[in-house]
A and B are shown apart, each in its own frame.
Chain A
Amino acid sequence: AQSVTQLDSQVPVFEEAPVELRCNYSSSVSVYLFWYVQYPNQGLQLLLKYLSGSTLVKGINGFEAEFNKSQTSFHLRKPSVHISDTAEYFCAVSKDTGRRALTFGSGTRLQVQP
Protein backbone atom coordinates (compact mmCIF):
# COMPACT_ATOMS: atom_id res chain seq x y z
CA ALA A 1 0.00 0.00 0.00
CA GLN A 2 1.11 3.53 -0.60
CA SER A 3 0.95 6.54 1.70
CA VAL A 4 1.54 10.26 1.41
CA THR A 5 2.90 12.63 4.04
CA GLN A 6 2.55 16.38 3.81
CA LEU A 7 4.82 17.69 6.47
CA ASP A 8 3.26 21.11 6.92
CA SER A 9 -0.40 21.58 7.76
CA GLN A 10 -0.17 25.34 7.25
CA VAL A 11 2.28 27.55 5.42
CA PRO A 12 1.94 31.31 5.88
CA VAL A 13 3.84 33.40 3.36
CA PHE A 14 3.89 37.00 2.20
CA GLU A 15 2.76 37.95 -1.27
CA GLU A 16 5.47 37.74 -3.95
CA ALA A 17 7.65 35.51 -1.76
CA PRO A 18 8.67 32.02 -2.90
CA VAL A 19 7.04 28.98 -1.37
CA GLU A 20 7.68 25.25 -1.12
CA LEU A 21 5.06 22.74 0.00
CA ARG A 22 6.58 19.44 0.99
CA CYS A 23 5.33 15.99 0.08
CA ASN A 24 6.87 12.59 0.75
CA TYR A 25 5.45 9.28 -0.27
CA SER A 26 6.03 5.63 0.37
CA SER A 27 5.16 2.79 -1.94
CA SER A 28 6.41 -0.66 -2.78
CA VAL A 29 5.57 -0.17 -6.44
CA SER A 30 6.01 2.55 -9.00
CA VAL A 31 3.61 5.42 -8.58
CA TYR A 32 2.24 8.42 -10.34
CA LEU A 33 2.34 11.68 -8.37
CA PHE A 34 -0.04 14.61 -8.36
CA TRP A 35 -0.66 17.97 -6.78
CA TYR A 36 -4.21 19.28 -6.50
CA VAL A 37 -5.52 22.62 -5.28
CA GLN A 38 -8.85 23.08 -3.53
CA TYR A 39 -10.44 26.47 -3.08
CA PRO A 40 -13.09 26.88 -0.37
CA ASN A 41 -16.22 24.82 -0.95
CA GLN A 42 -14.98 23.64 -4.31
CA GLY A 43 -13.72 20.39 -5.79
CA LEU A 44 -10.16 19.61 -6.68
CA GLN A 45 -8.24 21.10 -9.55
CA LEU A 46 -5.16 19.41 -10.93
CA LEU A 47 -2.04 21.57 -10.68
CA LEU A 48 0.45 19.15 -12.13
CA LYS A 49 1.36 15.50 -12.38
CA TYR A 50 4.40 13.29 -12.74
CA LEU A 51 3.94 10.14 -14.78
CA SER A 52 7.39 9.56 -16.24
CA GLY A 53 10.22 11.36 -17.98
CA SER A 54 11.67 14.63 -16.75
CA THR A 55 11.66 14.86 -12.97
CA LEU A 56 10.87 18.58 -13.06
CA VAL A 57 7.22 19.07 -13.83
CA LYS A 58 5.61 22.39 -14.62
CA GLY A 59 1.95 22.97 -13.95
CA ILE A 60 -0.67 25.66 -14.07
CA ASN A 61 -0.57 29.01 -12.27
CA GLY A 62 3.24 29.09 -12.23
CA PHE A 63 3.67 26.04 -9.99
CA GLU A 64 6.28 23.35 -10.50
CA ALA A 65 7.33 20.21 -8.68
CA GLU A 66 10.35 17.96 -8.70
CA PHE A 67 10.20 14.21 -8.38
CA ASN A 68 13.08 12.83 -6.33
CA LYS A 69 13.01 9.07 -6.32
CA SER A 70 15.90 8.59 -3.91
CA GLN A 71 14.23 10.83 -1.34
CA THR A 72 10.73 9.72 -2.26
CA SER A 73 9.66 13.33 -2.44
CA PHE A 74 7.55 15.47 -4.74
CA HIS A 75 7.76 19.00 -3.36
CA LEU A 76 5.68 21.78 -4.89
CA ARG A 77 7.23 25.19 -5.51
CA LYS A 78 6.31 28.60 -6.79
CA PRO A 79 8.84 31.44 -7.09
CA SER A 80 6.39 34.23 -6.33
CA VAL A 81 2.96 33.71 -4.80
CA HIS A 82 -0.17 35.80 -5.12
CA ILE A 83 -3.06 36.39 -2.76
CA SER A 84 -5.17 34.26 -5.08
CA ASP A 85 -2.96 31.24 -4.36
CA THR A 86 -4.46 31.00 -0.88
CA ALA A 87 -6.03 27.55 -0.83
CA GLU A 88 -5.61 23.97 0.35
CA TYR A 89 -3.05 21.92 -1.54
CA PHE A 90 -3.10 18.13 -1.67
CA CYS A 91 -0.36 15.80 -2.77
CA ALA A 92 -1.59 12.44 -4.08
CA VAL A 93 -0.20 9.21 -5.42
CA SER A 94 -1.61 6.49 -7.58
CA LYS A 95 -0.20 3.10 -8.39
CA ASP A 96 0.62 2.56 -12.03
CA THR A 97 -1.41 -0.63 -12.02
CA GLY A 98 -4.79 -1.68 -10.78
CA ARG A 99 -7.69 0.59 -9.93
CA ARG A 100 -5.50 3.68 -9.74
CA ALA A 101 -7.59 5.38 -7.11
CA LEU A 102 -5.73 8.26 -5.53
CA THR A 103 -4.25 8.25 -2.05
CA PHE A 104 -4.15 11.78 -0.71
CA GLY A 105 -1.95 13.47 1.82
CA SER A 106 -3.49 15.41 4.68
CA GLY A 107 -3.22 18.71 2.86
CA THR A 108 -1.32 21.95 3.34
CA ARG A 109 -3.11 25.22 3.83
CA LEU A 110 -1.23 27.97 1.98
CA GLN A 111 -2.04 31.39 3.41
CA VAL A 112 -0.70 34.27 1.37
CA GLN A 113 -0.62 37.53 3.26
CA PRO A 114 -0.31 41.03 1.74
Chain B
Amino acid sequence: GAVVSQHPSWVICKSGTSVKIECRSLDFQATTMFWYRQFPKQSLMLMATSNEGSKATYEQGVEKDKFLINHASLTLSTLTVTSAHPEDSSFYICSERSGGSSYNEQFFGPGTRLTVL
Protein backbone atom coordinates (compact mmCIF):
# COMPACT_ATOMS: atom_id res chain seq x y z
CA GLY B 1 0.00 0.00 0.00
CA ALA B 2 0.91 3.64 -0.14
CA VAL B 3 3.29 5.14 2.40
CA VAL B 4 2.35 8.30 4.25
CA SER B 5 4.68 10.20 6.54
CA GLN B 6 3.98 12.96 9.02
CA HIS B 7 6.34 15.51 10.50
CA PRO B 8 6.88 16.14 13.27
CA SER B 9 5.87 13.00 15.14
CA TRP B 10 5.40 15.04 18.30
CA VAL B 11 5.55 18.70 19.19
CA ILE B 12 5.23 20.74 22.35
CA CYS B 13 4.45 24.42 22.05
CA LYS B 14 3.42 27.36 24.16
CA SER B 15 -0.14 28.64 24.16
CA GLY B 16 -0.66 31.27 21.47
CA THR B 17 1.92 29.98 19.04
CA SER B 18 1.25 28.32 15.69
CA VAL B 19 2.28 24.82 14.74
CA LYS B 20 2.58 23.34 11.26
CA ILE B 21 2.16 19.63 10.65
CA GLU B 22 3.22 18.10 7.36
CA CYS B 23 1.68 15.08 5.71
CA ARG B 24 3.59 13.59 2.80
CA SER B 25 2.68 10.88 0.37
CA LEU B 26 5.98 9.15 -0.28
CA ASP B 27 5.12 6.91 -3.17
CA PHE B 28 1.83 8.11 -4.57
CA GLN B 29 0.26 11.27 -5.88
CA ALA B 30 -2.64 11.96 -3.59
CA THR B 31 -5.33 14.20 -4.96
CA THR B 32 -7.23 13.98 -1.70
CA MET B 33 -5.99 13.88 1.86
CA PHE B 34 -8.01 13.73 5.04
CA TRP B 35 -7.11 15.22 8.42
CA TYR B 36 -8.39 13.54 11.57
CA ARG B 37 -8.08 14.43 15.24
CA GLN B 38 -8.02 11.95 18.06
CA PHE B 39 -8.39 12.98 21.69
CA PRO B 40 -7.07 10.63 24.40
CA LYS B 41 -9.04 7.40 24.63
CA GLN B 42 -11.42 8.54 21.90
CA SER B 43 -11.97 7.72 18.28
CA LEU B 44 -10.77 9.60 15.23
CA MET B 45 -12.90 12.49 14.12
CA LEU B 46 -12.66 13.87 10.63
CA MET B 47 -11.61 17.52 10.62
CA ALA B 48 -11.33 18.33 6.96
CA THR B 49 -10.80 17.06 3.47
CA SER B 50 -7.84 18.51 1.63
CA ASN B 51 -7.96 18.64 -2.16
CA GLU B 52 -4.90 19.40 -4.23
CA GLY B 53 -5.13 22.84 -5.78
CA SER B 54 -8.37 23.88 -4.13
CA LYS B 55 -9.74 24.93 -0.78
CA ALA B 56 -10.19 22.37 1.95
CA THR B 57 -13.63 21.22 3.03
CA TYR B 58 -14.11 21.45 6.78
CA GLU B 59 -16.44 19.40 8.93
CA GLN B 60 -19.09 21.09 10.99
CA GLY B 61 -17.66 22.61 14.15
CA VAL B 62 -14.08 22.81 12.87
CA GLU B 63 -12.81 26.39 12.60
CA LYS B 64 -11.21 26.86 9.22
CA ASP B 65 -9.37 30.00 10.35
CA LYS B 66 -7.81 28.12 13.22
CA PHE B 67 -6.89 24.96 11.38
CA LEU B 68 -5.36 26.09 8.11
CA ILE B 69 -4.93 23.41 5.49
CA ASN B 70 -2.80 23.76 2.41
CA HIS B 71 -2.52 21.09 -0.28
CA ALA B 72 -0.20 22.76 -2.76
CA SER B 73 1.14 19.63 -4.38
CA LEU B 74 0.10 16.04 -4.96
CA THR B 75 2.51 14.81 -2.33
CA LEU B 76 2.18 17.34 0.48
CA SER B 77 -0.63 18.63 2.64
CA THR B 78 -0.03 20.78 5.69
CA LEU B 79 -2.18 21.53 8.72
CA THR B 80 -1.36 24.66 10.67
CA VAL B 81 -2.86 25.07 14.11
CA THR B 82 -2.91 28.80 14.63
CA SER B 83 -2.82 30.41 18.05
CA ALA B 84 -2.82 27.03 19.69
CA HIS B 85 -4.42 26.55 23.10
CA PRO B 86 -4.25 23.64 25.55
CA GLU B 87 -7.61 22.34 24.31
CA ASP B 88 -6.00 21.82 20.89
CA SER B 89 -3.70 19.21 22.41
CA SER B 90 -4.49 16.05 20.51
CA PHE B 91 -3.21 13.39 18.14
CA TYR B 92 -3.51 14.56 14.55
CA ILE B 93 -3.54 11.94 11.81
CA CYS B 94 -3.63 12.41 8.07
CA SER B 95 -4.59 9.92 5.44
CA GLU B 96 -4.40 9.87 1.71
CA ARG B 97 -6.88 8.43 -0.68
CA SER B 98 -5.34 6.63 -3.57
CA GLY B 99 -6.82 7.15 -6.96
CA GLY B 100 -7.04 5.07 -10.07
CA SER B 101 -8.94 2.14 -8.60
CA SER B 102 -12.60 1.35 -8.35
CA TYR B 103 -12.43 2.06 -4.66
CA ASN B 104 -10.16 4.73 -3.29
CA GLU B 105 -8.51 3.14 -0.30
CA GLN B 106 -7.08 5.30 2.46
CA PHE B 107 -3.60 5.03 3.90
CA PHE B 108 -2.83 6.64 7.23
CA GLY B 109 0.19 8.49 8.46
CA PRO B 110 1.76 7.65 11.84
CA GLY B 111 0.22 10.72 13.49
CA THR B 112 1.52 13.85 15.20
CA ARG B 113 1.03 14.35 18.91
CA LEU B 114 0.54 18.01 19.76
CA THR B 115 0.84 19.22 23.33
CA VAL B 116 0.06 22.86 24.02
CA LEU B 117 1.28 24.19 27.35
Q: Which residues of A contact B (CB under 8 A)?
A: 32, 36, 41-46, 49, 51, 90, 94, 96, 99-107
Contacts and interface: CB of A to CB of B under 8 A. Distances in A.
Nearest to A42: B110
A51 B104 CA distance: 11
Interface string B30-70: 00101000000011111001000000010000000000000
Interface residues on B, range: 20 to 34
Nearest to A52: B103
Q: Per DSSP, are chain A's interface residues mostly helix, strand or loop, or mixed? A: loop
Contacts, number: 49
Contacts of B105: 46, 49
Q: Per DSSP, are chain B's interface residues mostly helix, strand or loop, or mixed? A: strand
Contacts of B43: 90, 104-107
B93 interface: yes
Contacts of A32: 103
